[in-house]
Chains A and B, each alone.
Chain A
Amino acid sequence: MTTVTATLRASLADAVANRNSFWFQVSVMIVNDGTWIVFWVLFFHQVGTLHGWQTQDVIVLFSMLMTSAGAALGLLANSRRIGHLAADGELDETLVLPVGPLSHILTSRIDSANMGDLLFGPVLFAAAGHPTPERAAVFLLGSVAGSVVLVGFLVACGALTLFVGGRGEQADLGFNAILIFASYPLDLFGGATKVLLFTAVPAAFVTGLPSELVRSFDPARALLLVAVAAFFAALGWVLFQLGLRNYSSGSIWTR
């Protein structure tokens, strides 16, 4: 068993140690997700079609978002906390271990509530996303690529704290921005905003492009998605490694 797998297993065991609490939080998140679905159903009931998007398209987008965000924020919960951990000097406990620091940090905490997203996303797709073998395969590919983009982006934003200081505000703003933009159909945005979503805040690669691939598969766009996922994974890793050179111990062990 690799170190990463062992750490992830230990984190999962820790998260489900209190079964009632775990399932309560999962259930609350599922209800939370359901509220968004209700919003979109009501919205499209009133508006009809919006730039070619209908209720079922948004349901696929949300299934994708829940699955990607569930993996990134549930299984790898520390991905959004890198900046806070750095600001509070809490990287010490990882840096003394004989393991890759980033992989250990990412796998060492599971967020029970976001596991509800990870469970509900695929169920929603299976129930309302008109799954066929091809659509399901593209959904899986899109969700994995979307998760990698999200984790890479959040780690990169968190690593900025190691360069410019602060209390992790860069990661908070990046987190809010990418999740909000990823929650809405890509075709709503035009001009500079759309350019932003394909570059600095890559929400288009978390939900927009993957859900378009589910609707209409295109091998060239699928390759682009995979390449972008690899780029953001590398970006997050490189920025974190470079940022570590600026890290000062929080002296957590001596307090």
Chain B
Amino acid sequence: MTPYLAGWRLGLLRTLRSPGDLSVRIGFFAIILVVMSALWGAAIDASGGQLEGYTHSSLLWYVFAAQTAVLGVRPRSVEEIGDEIGGGTIAIQMLRPVSVVGLRMAIDLGEACARLAVAFVAGAALTWLFAGPPPSAAALAMAAPAVVLGAAANIASSHAFGGVAFWVLDAKSTWFLYQKLIFLPGGMLIPLDILPRPLEVISLLLPFATMAYAPGKIASGDANPLLLLWQVGWLAALVAIAAAVFAAGERRLQVLGG
């Protein structure tokens, strides 16, 4: 078994063996769905039954997939990466004969897969309850890999963002900013199609849209395989960026004697 596969398995099992944490996340997810159902239901009613092509049902299935993809990733992972770099723990991880960022991402992805599996099943059941069946079976089936790709892109991006701590040691609060990039340009709070056109175009050019908007769009009924390809492309780019940031940062840490 490669160390990365072992790391993925470790993350997966560790999360599955923490039922308390999982139950809090599912409870949190249920609350989000209740709130979003009320908000978007009222918005659709106020807009005459449709909003930029979204119906109440398709919008709630959008919210389900976008939220699932984001909630699968630990919200404070950027802060944790920053703490490990700032506190020097990263120097210990560098002693292992494997890529620090590669192993970290494998473990995080294992954890995310456990959360995504539980959240996807529970969230789909709740959304079905609030909004009726999904717009199409194909869309729901395609949403499953889309949320995994979205979470993977989020993890890679978190590492690229958190790696800033190699240069700015006090990067603790930057996770707030990172989170908001996924909330708005990422499409977690509001589908990008509903934004004013210039903001929509800018958001679509950024990688954050692959982390929430793409899975949401697919689950809302747009079962377009190109959306998955779009996610794969950005995922590859983000992994390369994270690797480059850590490689440069680790060289800098060695120069400083860490």
Q: Is the CB of A49 within 8 A of B20?
A: no
**Segment touching A, from B88-96, B157-165, B166-174, B240-248:** B166-174
> What chain B residues lie within 8 Å of A169 (beta carbons)?
20-21, 23-24
Q: A residues 16-65 with Cβ under 8 Å of B?
A: 18, 20-21, 24-25, 28-29, 31-32, 35, 38-39, 42-43, 45-51
> What chain A residues lie within 8 Å of B31 (beta carbons)?
176-177, 180-181
Assembled-state Cα–Cα distance A24/B176 (Å): 12
> What chain B residues lie within 8 Å of A180 (beta carbons)?
31-32, 35
The size bracket of the interface on B is: 20 to 34
- The 8 A CB mask of A168-182 against B (1 = contact, 0 = none) is 010011001100110
Assembled-state Cα–Cα distance A113/B20 (Å): 27
- How many chain A residues touch B (CB < 8 A): the figure is 36
> What chain A residues lie within 8 Å of B21 (beta carbons)?
167, 169
Q: Is the CB of A43 within 8 A of B190?
A: yes
How distant is A15 from chain B, measured CB to nearest CB, in Å? 13
- The 8 A CB mask of B1-36 against A (1 = contact, 0 = none) is 000000000000000000011011001100110110
Indicate which residue in B27, B32, B42, B183 contacts A51 across the interface (CB closer than 8 Å).
B42
Q: Is the CB of A28 within 8 A of B174?
A: yes
Q: A residues 96-152 with Cβ under 8 Å of B?
A: 113
Q: Is the CB of B180 within 8 A of A188?
A: no
Q: Is the CB of A176 within 8 A of B28?
A: yes
A217 sits at the interface (CB 8 A) = no
Indicate which residue in B38, B194, B195 contacts A188 across the interface (CB closer than 8 Å).
B38
Task: Given the known inter-chain contacts A169-B21, A184-B39, A188-B42, please indicate yes or no for A45 contacting B196, CB distance below 8 A.
Answer: yes
Q: Is the CB of A24 within 8 A of B27?
A: no
- CB-based nearest A residue for B181: A35
Q: Is the CB of B35 within 8 A of A49?
A: no
How distant is A162 from chain B, measured CB to nearest CB, in Å? 16
Assembled-state Cα–Cα distance A188/B189 (Å): 16
Assembled-state Cα–Cα distance A21/B168 (Å): 11
Q: Is the CB of A32 within 8 A of B20?
A: no
Q: Is the CB of A24 within 8 A of B42?
A: no
> What chain B residues lie within 8 Å of A21 (beta carbons)?
170, 172
A193 sits at the interface (CB 8 A) = yes
**Segment touching A, from B43-51, B105-113, B145-153:** B43-51
15 contacts between A and B (CB under 8 A): A31-B176, A35-B180, A39-B183, A46-B43, A46-B51, A46-B194, A48-B46, A167-B21, A169-B20, A169-B21, A176-B28, A177-B27, A180-B32, A184-B35, A184-B38
Which 9 residue pairs spanning A and B have beta carbons closest together? A28-B173, A35-B180, A32-B176, A25-B173, A188-B38, A169-B20, A47-B43, A169-B24, A176-B28
